Amino acid sequence: MHISNFRPVKRIGDIVRIFANMRKALSAKLVMIGDGPERASAEALADELKLGGEVHFLGNQVGVEQLLGQADLFLLPTDGESFGLGALEAMSCGVPVIGCQKGGLPEVVLHGQTGYLAPVGDVEAMSQCALKILTDDDLRKEMGENARQRVLETFDAKLIVPQYEEFYRQVVGE
């Protein structure tokens, strides 16, 4: 699964290529949620790679946590995600993440524990990481549990909001 605003920085074509590589080894479906300027080219690439009925473009959706809860893997191969909210949302639903070693994703996704990180544009490495997760039920379950736990222990609002409040107090000199 992938959720985004389909801008060039999201590298939507890489997601389709990762999926195409995965499909050579296993049966799967790719669910693409969102909309934006790269959607048409991603649909064309899926057609070109003959992935027609296996890639589903759902457009913008409400209640994505219900959809995320059905995913086995979340793909986010972006070129410089500032934080990785999509990854955090997937992890909160117990879904491992494949992402890039750039931007804020390494702060969210722990390589080898909650998913895998690879260099930007390394479709082959991300494909191999995805296959590793999708072909090992125990690994996928463990990474999903680790992901959920990481969100609860590190990014829960009860932990983060007091940090922001303290920061603002320091800035305003209270």
CATH code: domain of residue 98: 3.40.50.2000
Tokens 């983060």 sit on residue:
160
Helices 39-48 & 12-23, crossing angle to 10 degrees?
Answer: 20
- At residue 51, the pLDDT reads 95
Q: What is the mean pLDDT of the chain?
A: 94
Question: In this predicted model, which residue has the larger pLDDT, 136 or 80?
Answer: 136
Which tokens in the block code for residue 7? 């801008």
Kindly state the average pLDDT of the residues 155-159: 85
The 10 Å Cβ neighbour count of residue 17 is 19
H or E stretch covering 37: none
- At residue 170, the pLDDT reads 87
- At residue 89, the pLDDT reads 95
Which structural domain range is residue 162 located in? 2-172
Domain count, the chain: 1
pTM for the model: 0.91
Give burial (CB, 10 Å; 0-12/13-18/19+) of 48. Answer: exposed
Which pLDDT band holds residue 66 (cuts at 50, 70, 90)? very high
